[in-house]
Structure 1
């Protein structure tokens, strides 16, 4: 059959595997527009960081009551409710992490199958995750120390009160070390900044990725997700319901892994983009309606009973909506991607500006959006400076070099062993030939 004949035959059988439409969809997904590529992920991080700033500023009236803010044209109660729902920023970060780590490890696993390789990858991932955090940690400690010389410092002896309140210098330094390693939330110890609880989650998710990957390869991703949903219920793990729980966001992390494996998001999003205009409008309205309903449920339902809706279902729908109707817009993607590239730094430093040292400067404005915008601009500016320092000292290059070295630990010995084995086989073959 000629190529034209194959084309016409596939047009007649649109549901057949390898048909024209499935191949066209694959082209849309693979080459024309990848809706969950690095640029889209950065844009999603940008949205998540905007939600995080809003959540940390307005989720409780006690945070801003004394400043007499105007919430026009909205009601204060509606703004507070929205700020509460902005907690899904954590879920968006966890989803992106699951998506990216799955793809990263799946490439590594093709040539590295042993348990030793799994440990190497986990160690390398831990280092890569924690290196940037530790760099900012050191800068924050220096900044806090310098602020002690400021006469109007609203938080004098800040580090002293967190780590050395009991006058136990050795124990205080030990607590700082745990925090510096990103493990404070995991062990329930003090943190220099309360927002840094997520660093423990990022560390745990990275370490668990190879093991979740291997398990889902044997049992299937559906079974893995079901177990992740059921086990906390059966064991009645109450800590999972805490707003700063590592386990609480593990489910959405695994949903991100599931989307990376099945390309479900790509099919859903690209299928919508190929639809007719009326179908797109219906899909847009339907998703907005669903987000509205889930948003109401988020506020109304107690987290300790329905945390899957708040931290998994709603964020997943929001992510799909954003990828399909927001992130692909060129201008939106450019702006959000720029913010997203600085998301980690903004996450790490913003509370020092908003809460610890310059609270009045951020909140004391007529309209609530002014403070939020100001916090974003200042945090973004500080992040640009941090990245500039990194470039000067070639920090990222050093991290990549050490990361690659960790992944190659033992490789030379393994190659030598394989070489020796081949030599032994060659010698045995020569002996047989001579006999």
Structure 2
């Protein structure tokens, strides 16, 4: 009995949601993202013929729900950054703690923007040849206004400042920057006041305070949930939790509970209170998806490897897929007619481009440059 309890405790202390599972979840999220963008509304595939085995309404309904992928990316970012904060000694003096947090934030920002800027410049260059006139149409021809718009877009801040952007998908990088800046504060506050007061405060702020950027409001609570789950090792504890004694029965029960909860929350999220409670739905649903995936999906060996591979390249796929789908090869993408084939082909195209981008980085020693910049900033 005592040995069993010790084993259970060790299982709960070991975080199941490590790098491998994080990449797997990114793989899930990028598939949902591609599906969402392809079939969100009928105008997304206007002029194209789709072959469906069910009413078109359900395709659009499911694709609309798949915007939950944004919450998954936000959750992963908040969770990973919190784990990094937990590895730091936050009980040290204020000066040392400030320096450590500053180094963490700066290194994360360099990696985030470094990845984005490299792909951004390649996309801009490709657009000159594949969609001539697109850049001047987007940023204008008046100098220095067009240069300022270009720089803001390149830094992922166009949506925040409401300036022109080459494609609307880039809005996420403003949120990603916010997550890097807010998570250390969230973690320190959580550690100081406890989980319940922290979530109560976040909830009040989310529904009372007016946010300049609606996307920050939408995912504010989701980021907080990611921090809380990392701090309390919630995912691991739930996966190892026994609701009943039988192992098979426990798995079946949890599978049914999580699946049913996800279905109910999907219906509620797409219901009449979607706008009013958007931030709530998109904070709770990711947690259920993560628990379900970690307990059932990611334990399937081949599927795990496929999702992990997609997750590793998910950032570049995120950046290039909409250009392939909308700007460059629209007719080709939708020529496969069946939604599953369309998504698979677009994923494959985007993956090939993503791998090429990473190979180019290696050739140019780009990642070494980013590491050199990070090192310089830490020594400053």
Please indicate the TM-score interval, normalised by the length of the shorter structure: over 0.9
Residues 345 and 272 (structure 1 numbering): CA distance in 2 closer, same or farther, change over 3 Å?
Answer: farther
2: CA distance, partners of 1:215 / 1:49? 31
1:399 pairs with 2:358? no
Matched with 2:225 is 255
- 2:147 equivalent among 173, 182, 199: 173
Q: Which runs of 5+ in 1 are unaligned?
A: 1-10, 12-18, 148-154, 410-435
Q: Which moved more, 1:103-112 or 1:47-56?
A: 103-112
Q: Tell me, what secondary structure is at the counterpart of 2:64? A: helix
Report the 3-state secondary structure (helix = DSSP H, G, I; strand = E; otherwise coil) of the residue aligned with 2:241.
helix
Contact 2:217/2:279, CA 8 A, preserved across alignment: no
Partner residue of 2:120 out of 113, 132, 137 = 137
Give yes or no for contact 2:316–2:354 (8 Å, CA) kept in 1: yes
Partners of 1:23 and 1:177 lie apart in 2 by 55
Shift of residue 112, structure 1, vs aligned partner: 7.4
Q: Where do 1:354-433 residues align within 5 Å?
A: 354-409=325-380
Offset at 1:381?
0.5
Q: What TM-score do you get using the length of structure 2 for normalisation?
A: 0.93
Conservation of the 8 A alpha-carbon contact between 2:320 and 2:350: yes
Q: Any unmatched runs of 5+ in structure 2?
A: none
Cα distance, 1:224 vs structure 2? 2.1
**CA distance in 1: counterparts of 2:138 and 2:46, whole angstroms:** 26
1:345-374 per-position Cα deviation (integer Å, ceiling 9, x unaligned): 000111110011211111123322221111
* CA shift in 2, pair 1:79/1:272, >3 Å: farther
| Structure number, greater radius of gyration | 1
**Distance in 1 (alpha carbons) for counterparts of 2:20 and 2:100:** 29
Is residue 219–residue 279 contact of structure 2 (8 Å, CA) maintained in 1?
Answer: no
| 1:145 shift after superposition | 1.5
1:316, distance to aligned residue in structure 2 (A): 1.5
Correspondence list, 1:264-303, <5 A: 264-272=234-242, 276-303=247-274
- How many Å separate the matches in 1 of 2:220 and 2:73? 11
What residue is the counterpart of 2:77 in the other structure? Answer: 97
Mapped to 2, the partners of 1:181 and 1:156 lie a distance apart of 23
CA RMSD across the alignment: 2.0
Shift of 1:116: 4.1
Partner Cα distance (1:301, 1:329) in 2: 37
Separation of aligned partners in 2, 1:89 and 1:388 = 27
Deviates more, 1:44-53 or 1:371-380: 371-380
Which residue of the partner structure matches residue 161 of structure 1? 137
When the two structures are superposed, what TM-score results if normalisation uses the length of structure 1?
A: 0.82
Deviation at 1:406, TM superposition (A): 1.9
Output the CA distance in 2 between the equivalents of 1:343 and 1:163: 27
Residue 207 in 1 paired to residue 181 in 2?
yes
Distance, in Å, in 2 between the alignment partners of 1:404 and 1:225 is 35
User: In structure 2, the residue corresponding to 1:168 is in which secondary structure?
Assistant: coil
**Alpha-carbon shift at residue 105 of structure 1 (Å):** 2.2
Moved over 6 A (4+): none
- In structure 2, the partner of 1:20 is 3
> What is the total number of aligned residue pairs between the two structures?
376
Is residue 352 of structure 1 aligned with residue 326 of structure 2? no
| Contact 1:127–1:403 (8 Å) recurs in 2 | yes
* Deviations 1:151-173 (CA, angstroms, capped at 9, x unpaired): xxxx4411111101xx3220110
Aligned equivalent of 1:45: 26
In 2 relative to 1, CA 209–259 (structure 1 residues): closer, same or farther, beyond 3 Å? same
Answer yes or no: is the 8 Å Cα contact 1:198–1:246 preserved in 2: no
Q: 1:143 to 1:287 in 2, by over 3 A?
A: same
Deviation at 1:109, TM superposition (A): 4.1
Distance of 1:329 and 1:272 partners within structure 2: 21
